[in-house]
A and B are shown apart, each in its own frame.
Chain A
Amino acid sequence: MNTEPLLLATPSGDALKLRPEGSWTAANVTTLETLSRSVGAEVDRSRVVTLDMSGIRALDTLGAWVLEKLSRRAASSGRSAEFVGVADHFSGLMDEVRQVNRHTPASAAVPNPVLLRLGDLGKATVGAREDITIFLQMLGALFMAVIGVLRRPRTLRLTSLVYQLYRIGWQAIPIVVLITFLIGAIIAQQGFFHFRRFGAESYTVDMVGILVLRELGVLIVAIMVAGRSGSAYTAELGSMKMREEIDALSTMGLDPVDVLILPRVAALVIALPILAFIGSIAALYGGGLVAQFYGDMGPAIYIARLHEAISVTHFEVGILKAPFMALVIGIVACSEGLRVKGSAESLGRQTTTSVVKSIFLVIVLDGLFAIFFASIGM
């Protein structure tokens, strides 16, 4: 079926006779390109080019286009080219190919790379302002939704709230416990290892206690929740946006903020302090185990030292931050979800943006809280 394509060129004075033979099909495209290039110079020299098509065994769009391109090249600048001996069953295809590629659109000018970078920088700057606007809009919309619920408590989507709590709170407990446990254990091990040189091993417990309760417990849990639940929120809302479910909600007279976003953000605000508490306890437990097996400090001494080292203030400082971090994660995740456009790529991009942005904001918020608590002496 598939025979090797050939292109026989017979020049006679000003005229050139081209006789393609064999299968001019996509399967032989590499040969076809070589063949058409090899006669290019001869075609340019000749005034009259005749393409004798009678030798062609098989032809498809690609082969037809290669021949048509040769004939257009031959027919340029007042010269002439014609096809002869086109078999009946190929004539439809040849006629079709003669119509195409007549209007090549002007290719866009390649912009200066430096200007392109500057343009991107400018767009990013303007984009940052837009990000802040969207964040504040979402915060405002949530606030209004909360007021609406406070005025008419029956409008709270309780089922949805409980389901979200189950998903992002209850189901997250095992992984949160595991990771914070390991972090607590690692900090304690590092403390014992390095403080041992100064004979200050007992201060390891102070370090673990203060660090975990004030900073790490809540921070690690917030980062995990941003990755685990924030990304899920963005992807869910994004695909609902893509499939016009959110538009459907709006047309039924329901506010997507009430129905979808408030239960999700509220669940985060409730769940994150609980998870942070559980995580802190797991970290302290991990530290205690290391103290016993690595630092030769029994549980009783560990607990006694912990009791001396930490106060309720440390715990309060940590746990007070959790709801604010949850609010930031929830707002970023939901607003990024609503910014998803039609394509699958856009969904992936917004999910990445959501996680990166919420982790960044959580850390910035933690820094601001550190300054705040230091200045009020907590």
Chain B
Amino acid sequence: MSEQQEEFAIRVRDLVVGFGRQTVLDHLSLDVRRGEILGLVGASGGGKSVLMRTIIGLIPRRSGTIEVMGQPIGGRTQGAATAWGILFQQGALFSSLTVRQNVQFPLRENLVLSQELMDEIAIAKLEMVGLRAQDADKYPAELSGGMTKRVALARALALDPPILFLDEPTSGLDPIAAGDFDALIRTLQRTLGLTVFMVTHDLASLTTVCDRVAALADGKIVAIGPMRELLQSEHPWVRAYFHGKRSQMLQHEMR
């Protein structure tokens, strides 16, 4: 294990991604340190989700390199479940499986273990994300938005992956539930030593849980650093994002 691999969980170099004639990511470079929570902000349709989906291999790239835990990522993502967990925006729970089966799915597909242990692990994960054992036999259609996100998080964490990708984890949650979810991510990140890559628009999440924030504009990372530094940034888009009316209150809090 070299020092560099210890330091960075994800390294993206000169990444170019486009669809047809449109170039979405233009020679983008980004490093995610091991054990940090990195928040990614950007305009709607500006390529945040594209960047995340390219890193996890769902979208092909035109050029550039991506290393995850020191391993270069190829076109396809075979055996990826042990490398990272992904929380999709809508949860993406398998609707034909119960909550318990959803959480067990990565375990069942990747490991050989007894049903008893699998049940216990599934319940343990559900309790760690703040659900009760009674919820385990419900179907995804019976869950509220917040519960769906929690179950999806439990499934993403089923194999204790070192990296967790979150796509707008707090969107669609009320402020209390969103705050709880942020706290949960913080706790789990500390407990399990996770590296978290979070795409979000939630200024409160950025302020409270993210160690660093990266701003994506015009297909590039235009600013990266702790929230305080980003607030000082002179880049016009970053200024517009953090100094708009909606952000005033939060900045007030930061000072």
Contact = CB atoms under 8 A, between A and B. Distances in A.
B231 interface: no
A1 B128 contact: no
Contact of A344 (B96, B112, B117, B159): B96
Interface string B87-101: 000000001100000
> On chain A, which size bracket covers the interface?
20 to 34
Contacts of B139: 343
B190 A92 contact: yes
Contacts of B95: 342-345
B192 A27 contact: no
Interface of B: 1, 82, 95-96, 107, 110-114, 117, 120-121, 123-125, 127-128, 132-134, 139-141, 157, 159-160, 190-193
Contact of A343 (B114, B117, B140): B140
Contacts of B120: 65, 69, 101
A92 B134 contact: no
A345 B134 CA distance: 23
Nearest to B192: A93
B121 A62 contact: yes
Given A25-B160, A61-B160, A341-B141, A97 B1 contact: no
Contacts, number: 75
Interface of A: 1, 25-27, 29-30, 33, 60-62, 65-66, 69, 89, 92-93, 96-97, 99-101, 103-105, 341-346
B141 A101 contact: no
B141 A27 contact: no
A26 B121 CA distance: 11
Contact of A26 (B114, B160, B191, B193): B160
Nearest to B126: A100
A314 to B, nearest CB: 49
Contact of B128 (A33, A61, A342): A61
A26 B141 contact: no
A69 B123 CA distance: 13
Contact of B159 (A26, A30, A69): A26
A105 B132 CA distance: 9
A99 B123 CA distance: 11
Contacts of A66: 117
B111 A29 contact: yes
Given A30-B111, A61-B124, 10 more contacts: A1-B1, A26-B107, A26-B111, A27-B82, A33-B114, A61-B192, A65-B120, A100-B128, A105-B133, A345-B96
15 contacts: A25-B160, A26-B107, A26-B160, A29-B112, A29-B113, A65-B121, A92-B190, A99-B127, A100-B123, A103-B133, A105-B133, A341-B141, A342-B141, A343-B140, A345-B95
B249 to A, nearest CB: 32
B251 to A, nearest CB: 32
A342 B93 CA distance: 12
Contacts of A343: 95-96, 139-141
Contacts of A60: 160, 192
Chain A CB within 10 Å — which of B121, B160, B190 has the most? B160
